[in-house]
Amino acid sequence: MDLFESAAMQFEEILSCHLLSGDADYLLRVAATDLDHFDRIHRNCLAKLPGVASMKSSFSIREVKPWSGYPAWSD
């Protein structure tokens, strides 16, 4: 895990990396200009990260509700 996390820090295309519970170990947020660019990132970056045995990619089609900050909860 340490090797993966250290390697993920080295790629500017990886915007964020989260350790998860459940089926997947990590969630990576990646910046790509288009699908061809993502394919290059997938082949030259993500697939070469230490310990990667499989990947699952998802793409946002459109934003339904933008994030506007945390709610102001009252006690």
Q: Name the domain count of the chain.
A: 1
Calculate mean pLDDT across residues 47-52.
Answer: 94
Residue 27 lies in a domain: yes
Report pLDDT for 42. 96
Report pLDDT for 38. 96
Is the torsion defined by CA of 65, 66, 70, 71 positive or negative?
negative
Tens-digit pLDDT profile for residues 50-75? 999 999 999 989 999 999 999 998 76
- Separation between Cα atoms, residue 55 and residue 26, nearest integer Å: 10
Residue 8 lies in a domain: yes
Q: How confident is the model at residue 31 (pLDDT cuts 50, 70, 90)?
A: very high
Report pLDDT for 73. 87
Residue 63 lies in a domain: no
Report pLDDT for 74. 78
Domain containing residue 36: 2-48
Q: Which residue has the tokens 């947020």?
A: 29
Calculate mean pLDDT across residues 8-12.
Answer: 94
Residue 11 lies in a domain: yes
Q: What's 18's DSSP letter?
A: E
